[in-house]
Structure 1
Amino acid sequence: ASADGVIIATPEYDHTIPAPLASALEWIAYTSRALINKPTMIVGCSLGALGTSRAQAHLRQILDAPELKARVMPGSEFFLGHSEQVLDDDFNLNDFEKVAELEEHFSEFQDFVTITNQIVKQADTDRKKAFAWEVGE
């Protein structure tokens, strides 16, 4: 809840996010609501050629739900396909072009966090954190 921003890394299972990630997001949506207005970045890797393009698209939809309302970084997607070919035995990324791309995305995310945290008002976050049935209480 106190993080300035959140990075979610997801694999892709059957063209969507894995069930444990969905469950964690559902838990957040109906308990702490810690992702409301939180700058969020999505990355992912998979064994397939397309990386996690479908899972990331689905995750963007989920994060935009009224109960989550994360501020997902627009215009930036990091897909790592054929992960078994670009990760070494210690799971380090050994494709220097992909490392540079990922570092660029992280740098852009730091700027996105700074800008988002400057323009988002705490009152808006507090208002969105209240469920409709709690507003009258």
Structure 2
Amino acid sequence: MKLIGMVGTNSNTSTNRKLLQFMRKHFSSQAEIEICEIKHLPAFDEPEDRQAPTEVQALCEQIAAADGVIISTPEYDHTIPAALKSAMEWISYTTRPLINKPVLIVGASHGLLGTSRAQMHLRQILDAPELKARVLPSSEFLLGHSLAAFDESGDLVYANKVQELEEIFEEFQLFVKINQQLVKDNHFKTEQSKAFSWESAIWGGERA
């Protein structure tokens, strides 16, 4: 199983990157997790030639080739970072590789509550017609006090959180396999979704 682990911030010192690096190592016998950065992506600005930057196209190709995506997001002012929102806008503007793609949302924060509000908002964003990802339902992995959560080897030191993560990851693997069959059986609907445009929609919400 090939998965993409997206670091949902442009910070160079984020513990969300450490969380994905731990997952890549801890689950290496179960899946290949390729960590992707968004910090090099430009802020979204619809180009006049309607061609996304090379960096965006490369990210979309990585997502399209993966069986599923893990997004690790911090929480800034009760929502996701601007860099992650911008990345989602680029992805929805291009080939829309997240449509019907299984997604697991995790998050780490310095405080006690984890990233619950940010994860809720990200779920809403991923449900947009141009993204329409299949997010693992009823599962949240919230890592609080993340500054003290990893040892010098990058291992997660909270035993209860390791167990929780293992259970969620097992559930996500099954979710990915089920989704692969659903996509195979409904390929035409996936292509229809990718062809969606606000210009042809009869309801509001179009970009300005």
Select the residue among 127, 137, 142 that pairs with 1:74: 137
Greater displacement, 109-118 / 80-89: 80-89
Other structure's SS at 1:7 match: strand
**Preserved contact between residue 71 and residue 104 of structure 2 (Cα < 8 Å):** yes
**Sequence identity of aligned pairs in percent?**
65
1:26 maps onto 2:81 in alignment: no
- Structure 1: 5+ residue stretches without partners: none
Q: TM-score, normalised by structure 1?
A: 0.92
1:46 maps onto 2:112 in alignment: no
Q: CA deviation at 1:127?
A: 0.5
How many residues in Structure 1 have an aligned counterpart in Structure 2?
135
CA distance in 2, matches of 1:21, 1:91: 24
What is the letter of the counterpart of residue 126 of structure 2? Answer: L
| Higher-RCO chain (CA-CA 8 Å, sequence separation at least 6) | 1
Pairs within 5 Å for 1:90-105: 90-105=153-168
For the aligned residue pairs, the C-alpha RMSD in angstroms reads 1.6
CA distance in 1, matches of 2:155, 2:89: 30
Select the residue among 122, 125, 131 that pairs with 2:190: 125
Greater displacement, 83-92 / 53-62: 83-92
1:65 maps onto 2:124 in alignment: no
Residues 48-73 of structure 1: CA distance to partner in whole angstroms, max 9, x if unpaired?
11100000000000000111000000
**Preserved contact between residue 129 and residue 196 of structure 2 (Cα < 8 Å):** no
CA distance in 2, matches of 1:122, 1:35: 14
Q: CA deviation at 1:91?
A: 3.9
Q: CA deviation at 1:46?
A: 0.2
Q: Which runs of 4+ in 1 moved over 4 A?
A: none
Q: TM-score, normalised by structure 2?
A: 0.62
